[in-house]
């Protein structure tokens, strides 16, 4: 059979570029030629509904005119100038950010990714807290692909970095706030949120702890929403022990969970906040590390030992101000608020219909479907150790969905449902119908039980919402 021009292009790309987080053999990416709104289009004009906002970053969808126009104007005016200079793109970005940042977080370091934002945060906090240097992360964390990011990461990708000796010392891991699989074997609320109290124990036992570094809702690793007491208590524990609280809002920021920042769901203000992805709607690559004024004042006399060629990149930063304006305009319509409730309802219905869904959980436009082999025992199809080593059921479901015209990101045990904030109820219904069909692949391999629709975390979800 003759090879088409599109296939030739795909083969050339696969031959000469590395695919992320995978063995390279057999790589055959779909060639996407266009994207608009919540849809992608391949070389044959087949349409795919984007149900994960690409990598949980295209929050404003594709082809937003206001952002594109701002980028074009900046490209025509001045795409780049060294970060030693002041320039209008930085001024506009700062003004826009100050209008949405939690109170007191008003000094910024601009980079080009969430990974770099977290790298900057680690350097800043260790300089500020010296001689204390230890950082407590969590086992279901993902904080990036650099050496610092991988060291802070709890998922299987860290294991490979450790084998290559690419790690930062002084990182400790705490148990997760994971009610569906509580690491303490307890049940909420009788548990008294033992998972957060354990931080106090760790800080006192470890000594030399500089910071606690967490995602408000784990992004890649589960979309696990904490109970309402969790973050206020964590903030209190950090304050009582003189430890900084750093929140990674790379995925959870920019209205992904409802408010601009996920920590605002619990009225908590961190000492350092990192973000990226949605800060430009993914139209340009920007990472942001925001610090409190107390930390900023420290560096008035202390040298900030950090920098990038592309820090404060004019073209990249030109997308921030229009993106902030577009978020405000979109939220004023009430569409995301209304659709998030509809999405929640439809996902719970999906959970009731499919025995392979052990737990449907999430908040706003940020949901996870945990796929299990046995709903009663909560036995998984795949574990952490299977990632990168064995075929995964979640990947099988995602592949089936893609064939049907639905793009949904998969991890070793969950599917990530995080559509763009511009999605409508009708488009959510379209995605649910396609996902409904794709999930049949897993239903065929479950261990059937007499347990009805799981809703295993029903009481918990009612509390957290």
Handedness of CA 218, 223, 226, 232 (dihedral sign): positive
The beta-strand segments (E) located in 139-231 are 171-174, 209-214
Query: Residue 150: its pLDDT value, please?
Result: 86
- Dihedral sign for Cα atoms in the order 432, 433, 435, 439: positive
pLDDT (tens digit per residue) in 258-270: 999 999 999 999 9
Query: Cα separation of 435 and 162, whole Å?
Result: 36
Residue 28 has a CB neighbour count (10 Å cut-off) of 11
Burial class, 208, CB count within 10 angstroms (exposed 0-12 / middle 13-18 / buried 19+): exposed
Chain length of the chain: 465
> How many percent of the chain have pLDDT more than 90?
80
- Dist CA 286 CA 317 (whole Å): 7
What is residue 163's predicted lDDT score, i.e. its pLDDT? Answer: 72
Rounded to whole angstroms, the Cα distance separating 125 from 376 reads: 44
Query: What confidence tens digit (pLDDT) does each residue in 345-391 have?
Result: 999 999 999 999 999 999 999 999 999 999 999 999 988 787 877 88
Angle in degrees, CA 354, 360, 365, rounded to 5: 125
Is the four-CA dihedral 240, 246, 252, 255 of positive or negative sign?
Answer: positive
pLDDT for position 452:
56
Sheet strand arrangement including 134-138? 105-111, 287-292, 272-275, 244-248, 209-214, 134-138, 171-174
Return all residues near 325 (Cβ < 8 A) that are at least 6 apart: 66, 96
pLDDT of residue 191: 96
Task: List the domains of the chain with CATH numbers.
Answer: 31-63+334-464 (3.90.1150.10), 65-329 (3.40.640.10)
By three-state DSSP, how is residue 214 classified?
Answer: strand
| Per-residue confidence (pLDDT) for residue 164, from 0 to 100 | 65
Tokens of 156: 């299987």
Per DSSP, 415 falls in state: E
210 neighbors 133 (Cβ within 8 angstroms): yes
- Return d(Cα 19, Cα 65) in angstroms, integer: 30
Are 136 and 205 within 8 A, CB to CB? no
**Which of 357, 327, 379, 343 has the alpha carbon at shortest distance from 441?**
357
- The 10 Å CB-count burial string (b at 16+, else e) for 144-166 is bbbbbbbbbbbbbbbeebeeeee
What's the angle, vertex CA 414, arms to CA 411 and CA 419, rounded to 5?
90
Output the pLDDT for position 453. 52
> CB atoms < 10 A from the CB of 75, how many?
13
What is the distance between the alpha carbons of residues 37 and 47, in angstroms, rounded to a whole number? 12
pTM equals 0.93
Helix, coil or strand: residue 155: coil
User: Which residue matches tokens 């569409």?
Assistant: 335
pLDDT of residue 369: 97
Q: Cα angle vertex 336, ends 335, 341, to 5°?
A: 105
Low-confidence residues of the chain, pLDDT below 70?
A: 1-2, 164-165, 450-465
Residues 6+ apart with CB under 8 A from 50: 35, 38, 39, 40, 58, 61, 62, 407, 419, 420
Token pair of 428, please? 């959510």
């Amino acid at each position: 059979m003759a090879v088409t021009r599109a296939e030739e292009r795909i083969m050339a790309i696969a031959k000469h570029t590395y695919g992320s987080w995978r063995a390279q053999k057999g790589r055959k990416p779909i060639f996407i030629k266009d994207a608009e709104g919540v849809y992608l289009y391949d070389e044959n004009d087949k349409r795919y509904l984007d149900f994960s906002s690409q990598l949980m970053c295209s929050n404003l969808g594709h082809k937003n005119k206001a952002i594109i126009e701002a980028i074009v104007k900046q490209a025509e005016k001045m795409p780049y100038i060294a970060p030693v200079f002041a320039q209008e793109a930085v001024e506009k970005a700062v003004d826009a950010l100050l209008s949405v940042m939690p109170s007191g977080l008003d000094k910024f370091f601009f980079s080009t990714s969430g990974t770099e934002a977290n790298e900057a945060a680690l350097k800043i906090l260790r300089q500020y807290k010296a001689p204390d240097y230890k950082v407590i992360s969590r086992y279901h964390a993902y904080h990036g692909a650099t050496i610092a990011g991988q060291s802070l990461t709890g998922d299987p990708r860290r294991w490979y970095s450790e084998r290559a000796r690419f790690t930062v010392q002084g990182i400790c891991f705490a148990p997760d706030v994971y009610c569906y699989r509580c690491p303490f074997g307890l049940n909420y609320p009788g548990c008294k949120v033992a998972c957060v109290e354990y931080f106090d124990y760790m800080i006192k036992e470890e000594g030399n702890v500089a910071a606690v570094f967490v995602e408000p809702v784990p992004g890649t690793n589960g979309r696990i929403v904490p109970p309402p007491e969790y973050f206020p208590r964590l903030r209190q524990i950090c304050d009582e022990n003189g430890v900084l609280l750093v929140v990674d809002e790379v995925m959870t920021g920019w209205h992904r969970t409802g408010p601009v920042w996920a920590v605002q769901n619990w009225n908590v203000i961190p000492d350092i906040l990192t973000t990226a992805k949605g800060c430009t709607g993914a139209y340009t690559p920007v990472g942001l590390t925001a610090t409190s004024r107390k930390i900023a004042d420290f560096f008035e006399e202390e040298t900030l030992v950090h920098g990038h060629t592309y820090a404060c990149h004019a073209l990249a930063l030109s997308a921030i101000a229009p993106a902030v304006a577009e978020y405000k305009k979109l939220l004023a319509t009430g569409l995301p608020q209304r659709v998030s409730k509809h999405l929640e309802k439809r996902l719970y219905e999906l959970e009731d219909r499919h025995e392979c869904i052990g737990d449907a959980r999430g908040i706003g436009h940020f949901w996870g479907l945990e796929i299990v082999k046995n709903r009663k025992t909560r036995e998984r199809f795949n574990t952490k150790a299977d990632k990168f080593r064995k075929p995964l059921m979640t990947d099988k479901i995602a592949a089936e969905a893609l064939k049907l015209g639905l793009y949904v990101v998969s991890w070793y045990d969950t599917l990530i449902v995080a559509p763009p904030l511009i999605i409508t109820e009708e488009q959510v219904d379209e995605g649910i119908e396609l996902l409904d069909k794709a999930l049949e692949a897993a239903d065929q391999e479950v261990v059937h039980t007499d347990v009805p629709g799981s809703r295993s975390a029903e009481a918990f979800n009612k509390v957290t919402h």
